[in-house]
Amino acid sequence: MDPSTLAEQIVTLIRRTPSRRFTFLRLAEKLNTDESNIAGALEVALDWGYQFRTGVGWCQFRSAPDSLLDTEISYGLRAKSFGSEIHAYRSVKSTISIANKLANDGAPEGTVVIAEKQSQGRGRLGRQWHSPEGVGAYLTLIARPKLNPADAPILSIVTALAYVEAIKRVTGISAQVKWPNDVTIRGRKVAGILTELTTDRDRIAHILVSVGMNLNHTREHFPQALRKKASSLRIARGKKVDRIAMVQRFLEAFERRYLQYLNDGFPALRKRVLKHSSLIGHDVMILGARGYKPIYGRALDIDDSGRLVVKTDSGTQALLSGEVTLQETYKNAH
């Protein structure tokens, strides 16, 4: 058996009862391997950052690393589909690129690609997502919904709602949904969401849902240009958060809201989105397609189709997409 596979099996087995000492002989019998392989597999787990109490011919679970390992994310995860297959990496160019290849090769819905660091993380409008190692979580989910392709963009809002609920559950902090695809705390971005759609004729082949989570970043982790715009859960909370717990609770919340959206449509989620919206009732500026003038107005609503309803001098408009800035924030920044 491959030492890495055996190491995962040992960790999963012994951490269930951390107070118990497991003999190498017992582990070998439980895992259908030779006793001589156990010590080598434990060395692999130590390299991953796990800690054990050991003696002659026995070991006991001590602690898990602060690392986004598939073994850690899977342990205690209560989502049934999302996270059933996890591809975890220390450093990648982009989780989106890896997930896209997996999806094209037939990876099932619920597959997760996650990384500690991205060198070419992608945000909206071709921007780069700043992805330093060891403090955030950068993941892409593969979804295969039976939806009209025109309804797919609403998944960004559904994802933002799920992440807001996960933040509340883990930290107690009230975050906000910034239509159409950001999560903010006190006006500063703590997560960005990107969805990419692949169609086969008139149906959806797959959707990649990517989330960049600012978790344990300090102010110094952000480039100077982002320090007035970006934040993290650590900055908002005043102490570090459990990154594994945040990923797990997000996957559970996403699965719940995703299925609700598929079964009941966006109207079933609309009130929750409005409750957590950072824009409703505020004056905003919306930048649309390149070449079009900005739209100024007051955000009134998010309708049943997921469009932002804005009252402008020329009347009420329902917008499908756009980059939104609070007008006061925009004035202060310029």
What is the 3-state secondary structure of 248-260? HHHHHHHHHHHHH
Shared domain for 158 and 101, answered yes or no, is yes
Q: Which domain-ending residue is among 244, 275, 306?
A: 275
Q: Compute the half-sphere exposure of residue 193: CA atoms within 13 Å on the CB side of its CA.
A: 26
Note whether 207 and 302 are same-domain residues: no
Of 225, 245, 275, the position where a domain reaches its end is 275
Residues 131 and 174 in one domain: yes
Interval 167-196: pLDDT, tens: 999 999 999 999 999 999 999 999 999 999
* Confidence tier at 322 by pLDDT (50, 70, 90): confident
pLDDT of residue 216: 96
Instruction: Give the CATH number for residue 180.
Output: 3.30.930.10
- Whether residue 104 is found in the same domain as residue 228: yes
- Residues 149 and 228 reside in one and the same domain: yes
Looking at the fold, whether 40 and 142 belong to one and the same domain comes out as no
CATH of the domain at 10: 1.10.10
Average pLDDT, the chain: 91
- Same domain? For 38 and 98 the reply is no
- Same domain for 53 and 150, yes or no, is no
- Percent share of the chain, pLDDT over 90: 80
Work out the average pLDDT over 8-18. Answer: 93
Please say which residue of 225, 256, 275 terminates a domain: 275
If asked whether residues 217 and 74 sit together in one domain, one would say yes
Do 102 and 206 belong together in one domain? Answer: yes
- In the predicted model, is pLDDT for residue 333 greater than 50? no
Of 163, 197, 199, 196, residue with least CA distance to 178: 163
Condensed to tens digits (0 to 9), the pLDDT of residues 196-233 reads 999 988 899 999 999 999 999 999 888 888 888 899 99
Residue-wise pLDDT for 241-258, tens only, equals: 999 999 999 999 999 999
Report the domain count for the chain.
3
330 pLDDT exceeds 50? Answer: no
Question: CA 99, 192, 211: angle at the middle one, nearest 5?
Answer: 30
Which one, of 246, 231, 253, lies nearest residue 165 by Cα?
Answer: 253
**Is residue 49 located within the same domain as residue 114?**
no
User: What is the predicted pLDDT for the residue at 133?
Assistant: 81
The parent domain of residue 304 ranges over 283-333
- Both 93 and 9 in one domain: the answer is no
Residue 138 contacts residue 212 (beta carbons within 8 Å): yes
- The predicted-structure confidence for 58-71, as pLDDT tens digits, reads as follows 999 999 999 999 99
